[in-house]
Structure formats: C-alpha cells, structure tokens
A and B are shown apart, each in its own frame.
Chain A
Amino acid sequence: MSENSKELQELLIELEYGELDEIAAVEAQEQIDADPAMRAMQESFRAVRTDLHAVDEPEVSPSRIAFVTMPGQPAANTWSIWAKGAAVAASFAFGLLLAAAAANTFGLMPAMPGVDPALAGAPDATAETSFASMSQSEIQDYLDSRYARADAITTPVADMSPEELRPIVDDLWSEREQQWRGVVQQMLNVANRQQRDEIETLMAGMFQTFDAARTNDMLAVADELGILQQNTGAELQRNTQAIDYLFTRVGLDPTGQREQDND
C-alpha cells in the first residue's frame, strides 16, 4: 500500500474543504493525482460527503429552544434565567400535574409512572436512604451552621432530646414548605400562556391540599425532574435530609405524625 503521508492527507482535506487558494489547490490536486491511493481516497471522500448532505437538516422546534422569547418573560435576571431552566421541567411537570388532577388528590401520586415508589410512597424508607448520602458530621455541621450560632444551642443535635429537637423540626419544615411554594410558583411562571390558565387552576387546587403529608409526593416529583440538582434545590435537598434525620431522632414519621406501634 502506498504511503499516504500525513502532509498529503492534510492537503487532501484542505483541498476538499476549499481552504486552499487557487494556485495551492492546483498544486495539491497534482500531488494527489500522482498518488493512486490518495486519488482513490479523494473519490471515496466525495462519495461520503455526498451521502452526508443527502439527508434533511434536523428541523428546529422553537417551542423549547426559543425560551428567551417566552411571552412576558424578561431574559436577563437571575430569576428568569433560573426559571427558563425550569421551563423544561415545567413542561414535564405539567403532564404529571394533569395526572395528579385526574386523580384529584396528591395522595394518589405514589402510583404515578416515572416516580420512584420508594420516594413517593415510603418516606420512612427514604429518610434512611437520603440521610445515608450525608455523613453524621455533615448533618451536624449543617444544623450547627443554622442554629447553634443564632440560638446559642450548645448541645450537639445528636444529643438533643425529642422535645428539644421539635422546634427545630417545625422551623425547618415551615421553611421547606415555603421553598416548595417558591419552586412551584416559578415553574408556573415559566409555563407558556396556553398552559398557564390550566396550570393555575391545578396549582390552586394543589395549594389547598398542600400540607406536610403531601410534601414527600412533591419531593418525589421534583427529584424525578432533577430540580433538586439545580442551585435552588441544593439547599432544599440538605434541608430535607436534615428533616428526615431529625424526624427519625424525634420518633415521628415525616408527615409529622407520631409513629404508631405496630404491635
């Protein structure tokens, strides 16, 4: 096999893609013609390139690409940029919310397709799972950073009694609810106008039924959507893990109810 030098290969590529001036192109073609293997390769390349251009261009769907042109949404501020990122999630969430509306209650959401049943329906189990991703010291550091300085709590959280922990749980719980309302509202805001009225109706119903017992369902949805991976979700994630941990310490289940003895 004749040796296709690297220079000749480069020359062939430059020639085929028209990045040589007229004189250089003529000289390059002469060199290629003098090498049968390179000449054959040139023909092969041309056949391949013809095939590559025989297929249609992918059509651009503007519905999700043109997010900056979403009606009524300014493009360049922190909120709207985050919200646009959530737009993708919102479109998916819309489908989930429709399913929820059909079921007429979020209490049925554990059965929703695509949602991890362990997350959606078994909060006790997930408390252990999610907590497992954080070390004891990470949980402690997080709680210390939130409470120890402000409230001069000197007792390590791990050593607190359930009675001492309860106010912290309530505080975190309230904050989580507020965060959730914010996330949902942002998703609502970025939905397009055609969907907005329908989503608002759904949201109104959802807020009415929103209570602590439903939070885990919503967390499952958000987790499925990947929202917890967003910056705004990171705090929520830590908060949730801390709550789960504290609930296990207080002896409550994550709905805020005291766990029932099975026996």
Chain B
Amino acid sequence: MVEAPTAPTDNQLVARTLNGDVGAFNDLVTRWEGSLYRFVVRYLGDTEEARDICQEAFLRAYTNLDRFRGQAKFSSWLYQIALNQCRSQFRKKKSRPTVSLDEDEQQNHLRLVPADAETPDASAIKVQNASALQTALARLPEDQRTAIILKEYHGLKFREIAEILETPESTVKSRLYHGLESLAKSLGHLKTQGLQT
C-alpha cells in the first residue's frame, strides 16, 4: 500500500527556500496568507491596509528568512512580523487626526441586537453586531486585543501567543482575562450575580 505523501512542514519549506527552492516560499505564503490576513484585518479593522501589511510581512519574512532560527514556529515568527507592522501602522493612524463618532453614538453602536430578533433584515443586524464588536475590540488596550484575536480567532496555544508577543504565558492569560472582562462590560454581558460591591 502506497502512503499518501505528507505535506512538508513549515521548517522544511523554510530550509528549501534558503537552499534556493523558489516554490517553497510560495507554498508557505499559500499556507499562511489567509490566517495572516484575517489576523491583520481584525487587528486594524481595515481590509485595504491589511492587504498591504500582509504583502509587506511576507516580503520581510522572505528577505529575513536567514534570520529565522527555527526556535519558534514559522507561523509565530510570521505573526510577529505582521504584528510589528500593525503596531507601526496603528501608531501612524493614531498620529493622524481622525473624525470620530461622539461618545454617545459610539455607545449606541455597542448595543448588540439579539440574533433572533424579529426583523426583516437579519443581515443588517449581523453587520451592526459585527461593527459593535469591532468597536469594542478596538477600544481594548492593544496587548489585550492582540491576545484575544490570536486566541479566539486563530486558536493559538498560550505558548505560541507568548512567543509572538515575547511575553510570559502568565501575562498572556492575564491579558486575555482582562480583555474579556472589558469586552463583557462593553457589550453588556458582565454578570453581577454573586458580586459584592
């Protein structure tokens, strides 16, 4: 019986790229571009910027591939590059004057509509809820937001997130806890039962 060929690991593809195999890096891009793009979109909330940042992240990964030592996972390294790009972009955006909704209006955006609400336009609710979540996420401190995105949407292990953020695992857990707590407050989910104030 012939065994089905197994896909090469990331580290094998990296090694092949460093040995001049052009297609190996293409395979890495194909493998990770979707995840990376989704991460950046969720971080920045802007699809156009996300495309540019993903391009740049892969370019940087390629040109610095010889510095990748294989101590961390390739994907963690790639996320780290993209995260640095995102942070840089985020700083630029913060330094630019922006037109923002007033606080009351923003607060309204955070009220989630029940998915089973009787309305002829369920898709509009979905969009509204997505917008409210994006706003709530955007209001979180950057370190908490990053940890939540990587854990919730990318399913990374605490150890992997710790590698990307270059921080202890306990810090990652703490950021997740406080990030979720803030989201619960923002989205009106914070249960007060049992709390003594």
Contact = CB atoms under 8 A, between A and B. Distances in A.
B133 to A, nearest CB: 6
A75 B197 CA distance: 61
A69 B30 CA distance: 9
Contacts of B25: 68, 75-76
B37 A58 contact: yes
B59 interface: yes
A123 to B, nearest CB: 27
B68 interface: no
Contact of A44 (B50, B55, B153, B190): B190
Given A65-B33, A75-B23, A55 B126 contact: yes
Nearest to B51: A64
B194 A40 contact: yes
Contacts of A12: 177
A21 interface: no
Given A13-B173, A85-B56, A49 B180 contact: yes
Interface string A48-75: 1101111111101100111111000011
B177 A13 contact: yes
Where chain B touches its partner, the secondary structure class is helix
Given A51-B187, A76-B20, A9 B173 contact: yes
Interface residues of B, number: 57
A48 B183 contact: yes
Given A65-B37, A67-B58, A37 B194 contact: yes
Nearest to B183: A48
B196 interface: yes
A41 interface: yes
B95 to A, nearest CB: 16
A177 interface: no
Interface of B: 17, 20-23, 25-26, 29-30, 33-34, 37-38, 41-42, 47, 50-52, 54-56, 58-59, 62-63, 112, 115, 126, 129-130, 133, 148, 151-153, 157-158, 170, 173-174, 176-177, 180-181, 183-184, 187, 189-197
Interface of A: 1-2, 6, 9-10, 12-14, 17, 19, 36-37, 39-41, 43-45, 47-49, 51-58, 60-61, 64-69, 74-77, 81, 84-85, 87-88
Closest 8 A-B residue pairs measured CB to CB? A36-B194, A40-B191, A44-B184, A47-B189, A58-B41, A55-B130, A76-B22, A68-B26
19 contacts: A13-B176, A14-B173, A39-B194, A40-B191, A40-B195, A44-B180, A47-B184, A48-B184, A51-B112, A55-B130, A58-B42, A60-B33, A66-B30, A67-B29, A75-B23, A75-B25, A76-B25, A84-B59, A87-B55
